[in-house]
Amino acid sequence: MLLKNKLLSLTACIFLFSCSFLQKASVQKKVTPVQVKGNTPSILDTAKKTVAKIKPYKEVITEKAITTKGLFKVHKVEDRYFFEIPDSLLDKDFLIVNRISTGAAENRIDQFLSYAGDEIGENEVQFTRGGNNKLFIRLVSYLERSKDSSANGMYRSLQTSTFRTIAAAFDIKAFSPDSAGIVIDMTDYLAGDNDVFFFDTRIKKRLRLGALQADRSYIERIQSFPKNLEIRTVKTYPVSSGDYAFTYELNSSLVLLPNTLMRPRYADERVGYFATAYRDLDKPAGADGGYMITRWRLEPRPEDVERYKKGELVEPQKPIIYYIDPTTPKKWVPYLIQGVNDWQKVFEKAGFKHAIYALEAPVNDTEWNINDARHNVFVYKPSPAANAYGPQVNDPRTGEILESHIGWFHSVTKLLHDWYMIQAGAIDPKARKMEFDDSLMGQLIRFVSSHEVGHTLGLRHNFGASSTVPVDSLRSKKWVETNGHTPSIMDYARFNYVAQPEDSIGEIGIFPRIGVYDEWAIEWGYRWLPDLKDPDAEKAFMNHWIIDRTGKDKRLWFGDEGLTYDPRCQSEDLGDNAMKAGYYGIRNLKIVLSHLIEWTSEPNNNYEKLYQMQKEVMAQFKRYLFHVVRNIGAEMNTFKTIEQPGPVYEFVPRERQKEAVRFLQEQLFNTPEWIFNKDIFALVEANGYSKILPLQKEVLSAVMSLNNLGTLLYFEANHPAEAYTPMDLLQDLKAGIFRELKERQPIDLYRRNLQKAYIAQLAVLQSEIGETPEKRYTNMWGNTDVLSILKAHIQELLNEVTATIGLYKDQMSKIHLTDLRDRLKLALDIGIK
C-alpha cells in the first residue's frame, strides 16, 4: 500500500463474539453440521405441529412474486423481499462483505473512505433454526478451535462454554413446497440499519454518521447468483452534528464459504505474509495457537497432479483473475493489466503457469457486477487522495483469499510524478517536466499496480529488502539493470536515488520491480505440498527450507515494517548504509533544486508548482536525514529458530553510529546552504531563513531523546568495551555543534540558532525527567545514569561557554554566548533542584 491504511483493518473479519469448531483444518475435508445429542426435529415435522402459525407457501409467495434463483430463491412480492433458504444451507458458513457502491457526493470528511468499492464491514454468519418458529442469523468466530471431538474432548467443552451471538431473528413465514426450505421476510431488516449488512460501527463513527433516516432509505434490488447474493440498498444518514445528511448506495455480498476447506499454510516470521490468528485448544494450557497465512487456493487439476509432482509447470484448477474498473482512464488500463501479469513468471516458481492475469471488465454483461464478491477488481476512485491500497477478503477458517477490490485513487499519478521528479530528475531527462509522457507515467503506474496486487496475494511490506543491497551496487549499471535496485516490490523503495548522472543507468535500473524475494515468498506460500500430512511435518519442512534458501541468498531476508527500531527496516530507503546512500541522494537533490525553476515552468501559470516541488525537495532531504537518525541508539532483530546460529538481537556497531553522527554534522548541522536558493525564494516565499532550524530541532529531538540515551546505556551495560555510550553521543554532538568555540571563530546566524536549539533540547530532557525532586527521583530515567550524564554534560558545556565569552571580539557572538551561559545555568538549575 502506498499508505498503510486498511480501513480500520476490515480486511480481517470482525468476529468478536463466539467460537466455533474447525474440523481437521490441516487436511481437505467436507465441513459437516455439528451433531447434537438427541433427536432434532425435521422441518417437515415442525411444520405439521405449527401449521396454524405458519401460512401455506402460496399465501406468502403469491402469483405476484417475482422470483430469482441462485444461492437462495429471492422473491419480491409487491414491496416485500422474501428469502427462501434451503435446509441444506442451514448452519453453513457465509461471509457478508459490505461496500459502498456509490459514495455520497458531498461527503469528503474522509477522502480515503467515501468512494465506490470501499469496504465498510465484514461478518461471518450462519442461518440457524431456532425455537418458536424462528430463523436466526448468528455471528461466528473461528478464533478458538479444537479437533478433539471425543466425549470428554476440548471441542465438547468449547461447545458448552460458548454460544454464538444472535444478530437477528426472523419469523418463519412459510415452508417451501417440498418442505426443504424456510421462507423469511427480510424487508424490514434490509431496509433498516444494522452492522451485519451495512456500515460497521467503527466506520460509521469515522464518517461521523448518525441514525438512519428511514424515510430516505430503501432496498434497490437483490440479485441471486449460484454462490452469492448481491443486495443493493440506498441509505441516508445525518452527520453527527445533525445539520445535513449523506446518501449512499451500498452493496452487500452474501457469499457461501467453501464447503471443502483449503489446507492452511502456517505463518513464519521469516517470510512476510498477512495471517489470520487462531487459538488451538488441543495444545497444552497456555499455548496461544498460531497464524495461518492468507493466500489463494492454487491446486493442480487432478489430471496434472503427477506432472506437477515431477516439477512440470501446470495450470491451476482456478486461476486468479483481476478486472479493471470500466471507469478507469483507458490510457492507464494496459499498464494496470501489465502490473498484474508481471506476477505470472513469479508463480512459475511455485509450479503454476498462467496462474494470474487481468482483464478489462465485461461490457453490457448484466451478470457482471463490480461489487460482486466473486470478482477481483481494480476500483477507480475520483479522489484527491494520492493513494492506492490492496485489501483482501479471506476465509478465517483457513486463510484462503476469496476476493479483492484494489483501491486506485485518481491522484496517485501526482504522487508518482513528484516522487520521480525529485528522486530521478538528476539522472532521467524525462523526469524534468510537470506533465510526464503517458509512456513514462504508465510504467510508474505499472509498478504500483504490481505492489498492490502483491498485497492481495497475501504479501506484507518487506521494508528490509532494500537493506540487503550494497550501496555501491546501486551505482552499477550492469547490476541494477539485471537485478533491480531492491529485491522486493513489497518494499517502500521508490526509485534509485543513489545512481548518479555519470552512471548512465536506464529506467530498468531506476524503477522498482518484482524481485528475487517476491519469487521466493510466492514459492514458499503457494508451492502445493500434498505429501506433508500434518502441521508438525509441514513446520519442520518449512523451517529447513527457509534456513537453506535464506542462508544461500541474503536478499531473501524479510524485514518487517513493524520493526521500527531496526535501521534496516525503513520506509523509502535504499542500500545497506543510510549514510552513504543519503550522501548520493543529497548530491542529486542539489542538482534537482538548481533546475527546479526551469523544470516547473509552464506557460500562463504562476509559481505554485515551483513552491510545491521545492517542498518535495525538502521532504526528501528530511527522509535521508531520518534514515541516518534511525542508526543511532538502535538494535537489529533477525528472526531465527533454534536451528540457526547467531544472535536474534544485535546492537548497531559503535563505528556505524559514529558515522551517522558525522553525517548529521556534515549535512545538517553544518548549515546546508544549498537549500537557500535565493532565486526560488524570490518567487515563492520571502522567509527562506526559517527553513532549516525546524528540521535541525526535529533531528536533535530524535537523536537526544530519553529513549535513545537509555538504549545507549543498555548497550553499554551489555557490551561496555564496544558500546557507543550516551556520553560518546553527547560529546560528538557538542564537538560539531560548538566547534567555533575551540578556534574562537565567529558564529553565524544559522549556527547561533542551532546552538540555542541544542541547549533547549538539554533543558527539555531535564524537564521530561521531572521538574521537582519528587518527580525526578521517582521517574524511571531519574534513577539511571541518564540524569547524571545530562547534568555533567550541561556543566561541562557551561564551563566552556563561560571561559570563551571574554575571548570573543565580534559583538553578536559575544551576545549569543552570554545568552547561552544563562540558558545553561537555567537548565542546570532544573537538574539540581
Exposure on the CB side of residue 350, measured as CA atoms within 13 A:
28
Highest mean pLDDT among 100-104, 226-230, 577-581: 577-581
Residue 415 has pLDDT above 70, yes or no: yes
Q: Determine the pLDDT at residue 90.
A: 96
Query: Mind listing the pLDDT tens digit for each residue in 126-158?
Result: 999 988 899 999 998 877 665 644 444 444 444
Q: Which of 241-245, 345-349, 376-380, 728-732 has the lowest mean pLDDT?
A: 241-245
Residue 99 has pLDDT above 70, yes or no: yes
Residue 491 has pLDDT above 90, yes or no: yes
Contacts of 197 (CB under 8 A, 6+ apart): 96, 98, 121, 189, 190, 231, 233, 252
Q: Determine the pLDDT at residue 251.
A: 92
Q: What's the CA gap between 44 and 415, in Å, rounded?
A: 63
Compute the average pLDDT of residues 554-583.
96
Give the containing element (helix H, strand E) for 825. helix 811-832
Query: Mind listing the pLDDT tens digit for each residue in 746-783?
Result: 999 999 999 999 999 999 998 888 766 667 677 778 78
Q: Determine the pLDDT at residue 215.
A: 93
Q: Determine the pLDDT at residue 12.
A: 31
Instruction: Yes or no: say if 120 and 200 are a contact pair by the CB < 8 Å rule.
Output: yes
Give the containing element (helix H, strand E) for 124. strand 119-130
Look at 173 and 105; give whichever has higher pLDDT: 173
Q: In which band, very low, low, confident or very high, does the pLDDT at 225 lie, cut at 50, 70 and 90?
A: confident
Q: Determine the pLDDT at residue 456.
A: 97
Rounded to 5 degrees, φ, ψ at 545 are -65, -45
Query: Mind listing the pLDDT tens digit for each residue in 671-685?
Result: 999 999 999 999 998
Instruction: Yes or no: say if 695 and 758 are a contact pair by the CB < 8 Å rule.
Output: no
Q: Determine the pLDDT at residue 19.
A: 30
Largest CA distance in the chain: 109
Look at 246 and 303; give whichever has higher pLDDT: 303
Q: How many helices (H) and strands (E) does the chain have?
A: 26, 23
C-alpha cell, 734: 557538542
Indicate the burial class of 210 (C-beta count within 10 angstroms; 0-12, 13-18, 19 or more). middle
Query: Mind listing the pLDDT tens digit for each residue in 254-297?
Result: 999 999 999 999 999 999 999 988 766 566 654 556 889 999 99
Q: Determine the pLDDT at residue 50.
A: 45
Query: Mind listing the pLDDT tens digit for each residue in 166-197?
Result: 999 999 999 999 989 999 999 999 999 999 99
Q: In which band, very low, low, confident or very high, does the pLDDT at 592 lie, cut at 50, 70 and 90?
A: very high
Nearest alpha carbon to residue 465 among 550, 555, 548, 525:
555
Going 523 to 528 to 529 to 534, the CA torsion angle's sign is positive
Look at 734 and 108; give whichever has higher pLDDT: 734
pTM reported for the whole predicted model: 0.87
Q: Determine the pLDDT at residue 151.
A: 47
Q: What is the mean pLDDT of the chain?
A: 88
Query: Mind listing the pLDDT tens digit for each residue in 358-392?
Result: 999 998 887 788 878 789 999 998 878 888 989 89
* Residue 665: DSSP 8-state: I
So where are the chain's domains? 43-261, 309-594, 681-832
Query: Mind listing the pLDDT tens digit for each residue in 646-655?
Result: 999 999 999 9
DSSP string, 253-277: EEEEPPSBPPPP-B--TTS-B-EEE
Give the containing element (helix H, strand E) for 381. strand 376-381
Q: Determine the pLDDT at residue 162.
A: 54
Share of the chain above pLDDT 90, in %: 73
